[in-house]
Amino acid sequence: MTDYALSNAWQQARQRLALLEAELDPATRRHILDLGVRPGWHCAEVGAGGGSIAHWLCHTVGPTGRVLAIDIDPSLVAVDAPPDLEILAHDLTRDALPDGQFDLVHARWLVHHLPDIDDAIGRLINALKPGGVLLLEEPDFYPVHAGQRPLYTQFMDALTRAVVAATGRDCYWARDLPQRLTDLGLSDVDAAAEVAVLRGAGPLAQFYRLSGQQARERVVAGGYMAAEAYDAALSLLDDPRLWAFGACTVAAWGRRPPL
């Protein structure tokens, strides 16, 4: 993860993550509540980012519960954190997670950045107690190709390719997430998906614009898109006449079988 394209150390990272949280948090909270989280649960939030879900989980599980927020750079999750939140700097590609300790392990928009998806998911499964539940939410960018604005489509494809280039991955695999959880031995697997609709100058458009600004040098240097066209696409995201699809977020969950 040393070549992560969207580092939390960037000066506008907090703003970028806040925009993503505003878009995704309602569905995430709904999924977690539907999975039965309650006071006393032990939860791990992996790739905690700006910390909104980790902070919310602290209030949800209460003083008898436990929440461990994990990130390769946990500086943002620590801002205004509840006093009982545990925070761990951790690289999922190299560092071991606590084994068999959690009723819930959740990761959102994380695994697609990692070079070995099955290894990463296996590590997350091993952190669950027997009967504990894993909830993963990952983006699949196939909807962007259904739109009628070629410049926007080209930009999104270039951006996503550049962001995951160091891992050799792409951002068009999350549709397979339920099958992966099944193949890795989880029980009671289920899934849901939501396609985001984007309007220029709106919060989601600004998230992609900031992501594009942060990754611009990488996109242009890698030859994914010419600088002039890329900058024109960034400007297009500020145009309220733009309507387009964002990513489809695929949520999949399952339980670690009893020993």
Contact between 46 and 19 under an 8 Å Cβ cutoff? The reply is no
**Strand 128-140 to strand 102-108: parallel, antiparallel, or no bridges (unpaired)?**
parallel
Side by side, the strands of the sheet bearing 128-140 are 86-89, 66-71, 42-46, 102-108, 128-140, 243-255, 187-199
User: Quick one: pLDDT at residue 69?
Assistant: 98
> 38 has which bridge partners?
none
> Quick one: how many helices (H) and strands (E) in the chain?
7, 7
- What does the H/E/C string look like for 167-227? HCCCCCCHHHHHHHHHHCCCEEEEEEEEEEEEECCCHHHHHHHHHHHHHHHHHHHCCCCCH
Query: The whole model's pTM is what?
Result: 0.96
Q: Residue 1: its pLDDT value, please?
A: 46
pLDDT at 168: 85
Tell me if 135 sits within 8 A of 111, measured CB to CB. Answer: no
Q: What is the pLDDT of residue 8?
A: 87
* Secondary element (H or E) of residue 14: helix 13-34
Contacts of 43 (CB under 8 A, 6+ apart): 37, 57, 61, 65, 66, 67, 68, 102, 103, 104, 105, 106
pLDDT in tens, the chain (259 residues): 456 778 888 999 999 999 999 999 999 999 999 999 999 999 999 999 999 999 999 999 999 999 999 999 999 999 999 999 999 999 999 998 999 999 999 999 999 999 999 999 999 999 999 999 999 999 999 999 999 999 999 999 999 999 999 888 899 999 999 999 999 999 999 999 999 999 999 999 999 999 999 999 999 999 999 999 999 999 999 999 999 999 999 999 999 999 8
pLDDT at 191: 98
